[in-house]
């Protein structure tokens, strides 16, 4: 991958990282929002669940961004973590944090679906 292209993605990743870190933190949720009648309590609990979900999503995205930035520093950005082939430029453009090429990502998803399906029907996988 050309240096200019890698630099473009580095800037994009750092901007996204900074945007996540600058988001207001709603961790100090007011417990009073969960008090009141049943509807108020349900709304308060739903809001807390949503805040937790967004916080977890941001944390996971930060990990992916940091990993991609590390690969840029190591000169391995754009390499598939599974097969070591170059990740397709369109995939990198769409998802700068991509760690797998399309082929390997599809295989990973196939395994996950098979595992989930087998777990639902009670099949033990070794």
Domain residue ranges of the chain, discontinuous segments joined by +: 1-77, 78-126
Q: What is the mean pLDDT of residues 3-14?
A: 95
The alpha carbon of residue 93 and the mean position of all alpha carbons in its chain are separated, in whole angstroms, by 16
User: How high is the pLDDT of residue 85?
Assistant: 96
Q: For the segment 36-60, what is each residue's pLDDT rounded down to a tens digit?
A: 677 777 777 777 777 777 788 899 9
Q: Which of 3-12, 32-41, 57-66, 88-97 has the lowest mean pLDDT?
A: 32-41
Q: How many CA atoms lie within 13 A of 32 on its CB side?
A: 1
Considering only CA atoms, give the Rg of the chain. 20
């Amino acid at each position: 991958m050309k240096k200019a292209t890698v630099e473009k993605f580095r800037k994009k990743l750092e901007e996204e990282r900074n945007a996540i870190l600058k988001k207001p933190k709603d961790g100090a949720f007011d417990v009073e929002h969960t008090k009141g009648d049943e509807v108020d309590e349900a709304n308060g609990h739903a809001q807390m669940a949503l805040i937790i979900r967004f916080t977890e999503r941001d944390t996971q995205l930060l990990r992916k961004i940091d990993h991609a930035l590390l690969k840029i520093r190591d000169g391995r950005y754009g390499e598939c973590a599974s097969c070591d082939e170059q990740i397709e430029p369109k995939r990198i453009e769409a998802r700068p944090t991509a760690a797998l090429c399309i082929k390997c990502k599809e295989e990973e998803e196939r395994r996950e679906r098979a595992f989930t399906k087998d777990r639902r029907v009670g099949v033990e996988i070794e």
